[in-house]
């Protein structure tokens, strides 16, 4: 790894890279899956890789509390709660979201792990999140805590080495399996996972290619963030590689109804992966990204026979979030027989 950063090891790496024979035959591509849902702590997922690095910085700064932000269903919040528990720290998760009138699966897990969750309904005003974070830091520091703040998704320079490291891991695994040149496909939310992979593959000279599939609107703010984030990381780690917009391959046309909206195609994609391979995806991120990948194959954007590595970034607790669960139950009750 050509960049240097300290981490606290909390998960067992490398995660497996597996061939999916039945789905490959069904779809006419050579499909592999990178099992980053198997990152062990707090039910796993992609944020654990970033949090190993963020935790090291928090401990170095003498933090007693982790504060992070996310939506009502944040997987990142859940994994942050797990890390705080492991480090003996307090954890507070701030959600700029209407309290949805249901306890999402992740918030239930946050509370099981002892994290506090604060909701503030969105006002539409710019800077609301920053103001809430400032108020919470003041409040908890006045009560004697030393707060370490982790931005949404752990997607900053300090968290980036997590997916940079995953890129190195994937490159070595792909070479060992004889699938150099494969296309890695990942869900894109707060961009950290994509950016870590992008920087790792590019800066290390890997021949793996990378396609991101946006799971929420990829508007002008995200476009700006993409380049700013790359420039920030490049400078922070002294990377020599360069990149401009055309180098970032992000599909923005598979968002469907919007962030975390229950959607029939996404559920069909989840059933397909589960019924062919016994692997469970989630309704907000990986199920949607996989539905996008299926569309790309159907539309010929992915060629028959192509080698694809789909990143399973976790999120499965989301299946049990009430508004998703209701839809699954409606579609699946017919296969339950009570004798």
Ligand X SMILES: Cc1ncc(COP(=O)(O)O)c(C=O)c1O
Q: Which residues contact ligand X by CB under 6 A?
A: 45-46, 75-76, 153, 155, 187-194, 282, 285-286, 313-315
Alpha-carbon dihedral sign for residues 2, 3, 6, 12? negative
Q: Which residue has the tokens 């700013």?
A: 228
Return the number of the residue (262 or 314) whose C-beta is nearest ligand X: 314
> Containing H/E element for 90?
strand 90-96
CB of 315 to ligand X, least distance (A): 3
CB of 252 to ligand X, least distance (A): 13
Return the number of the residue (11 or 191) whose C-beta is nearest ligand X: 191
Residue nearest to ligand X (CB): 315
Return the number of the residue (140 or 189) whose C-beta is nearest ligand X: 189
Query: Given the DSSP bridges, would you call strands 147-150 and 65-70 parallel, antiparallel or unpaired?
Result: parallel
| Spatial separation of the C-alpha atoms in residues 292 and 290, rounded to whole Å | 5
CB of 68 to ligand X, least distance (A): 11
Return the number of the residue (187 or 201) whose C-beta is nearest ligand X: 187
Return the number of the residue (182 or 311) whose C-beta is nearest ligand X: 311
CB of 152 to ligand X, least distance (A): 8
**CB count in 10 Å sphere of residue 265:** 15
CB of 214 to ligand X, least distance (A): 9
- Give the single-character DSSP code of 104: -
Task: List Cβ neighbours of 181 (8 Å cut-off, separation of 6 or more).
Answer: 207, 208, 209, 307
Query: Given the DSSP bridges, would you call strands 30-35 and 17-19 parallel, antiparallel or unpaired?
Result: antiparallel
């Amino acid at each position: 790894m050509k960049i240097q950063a300290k981490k606290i090891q909390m998960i067992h790496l490398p995660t497996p890279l597996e061939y999916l024979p039945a789905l490959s035959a069904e779809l006419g591509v050579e499909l592999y899956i990178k099992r980053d849902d198997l990152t062990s702590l707090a039910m796993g997922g992609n944020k654990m890789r970033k949090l190993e690095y963020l935790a090291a910085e928090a401990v170095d700064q003498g933090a007693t509390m982790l504060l992070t932000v996310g939506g009502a269903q944040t997987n990142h919040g859940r994994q942050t709660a797990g890390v705080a528990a492991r480090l003996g720290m307090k954890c507070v998760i701030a959600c700029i979201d209407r309290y949805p009138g249901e306890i999402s699966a992740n918030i239930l897990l946050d509370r099981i792990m002892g994290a506090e969750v604060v909701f503030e309904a969105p006002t539409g005003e710019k800077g609301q999140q920053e103001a809430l974070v400032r108020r919470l830091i003041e409040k908890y520091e006045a009560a004697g805590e030393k707060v370490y703040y982790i931005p949404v998704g752990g997607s900053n320079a300090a968290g980036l080495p997590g997916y940079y490291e995953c890129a190195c891991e994937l490159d070595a695994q792909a070479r060992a399996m004889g699938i150099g040149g494969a296309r890695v496909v990942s869900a894109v939310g707060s961009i950290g996972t994509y950016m870590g992979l992008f920087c790792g593959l590019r800066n290390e000279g890997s021949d793996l290619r990378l396609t991101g599939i946006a799971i929420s609107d990829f508007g002008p703010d995200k476009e700006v963030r993409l380049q700013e984030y790359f420039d920030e990381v490049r400078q922070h780690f002294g990377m020599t590689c360069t990149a401009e917009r055309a180098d970032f391959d992000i599909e923005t046309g598979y968002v469907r109804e919007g962030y975390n909206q229950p959607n029939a195609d996404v559920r069909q994609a989840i059933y397909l992966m589960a019924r062919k391979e016994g692997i469970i995806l989630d309704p907000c991120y990986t199920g949607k990204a996989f539905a996008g990948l299926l569309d790309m194959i159907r539309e010929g954007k992915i060629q028959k026979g192509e080698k694809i590595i789909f990143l399973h970034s976790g999120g499965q607790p989301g299946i049990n979030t009430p508004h998703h669960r209701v839809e699954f139950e409606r579609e699946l009750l017919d296969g339950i027989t009570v004798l």
